[in-house]
Amino acid sequence: MPPELRTAHQQNDRAVMEAYGMPVKTTTESSCVAELMRRYQALTAGEEKK
């Protein structure tokens, strides 16, 4: 991955973690994705399938 793209991904990850109140220094990419999925599932629980 080009260094510029890696930096952009890291900055985006940090912004998402901060926006959702996750500790930036101790949150891994996989734990971040898992937390975002939990939040998504909680938000969409009970919605009717179209």
Instruction: Tell me: pLDDT of 2 over 90.
Output: yes
Q: What pLDDT was estimated at residue 46?
A: 78
Residues 18, 28 contacting (CB under 8 angstroms)? no
User: Mean pLDDT, the chain, as a whole number?
Assistant: 92
Q: What is the mean pLDDT of residues 16-33?
A: 95
Q: What does the alpha-carbon distance between residue 47 and residue 50 come to, in Å, rounded to a whole number?
A: 9
Note the Cα 17 to chain centre separation in Å: 6
Q: What is the mean pLDDT of residues 11-23?
A: 96
Q: What does the alpha-carbon distance between residue 1 and residue 15 come to, in Å, rounded to a whole number?
A: 20
Q: What does the alpha-carbon distance between residue 20 and residue 23 come to, in Å, rounded to a whole number?
A: 9
The pTM assigned to this predicted structure is 0.75
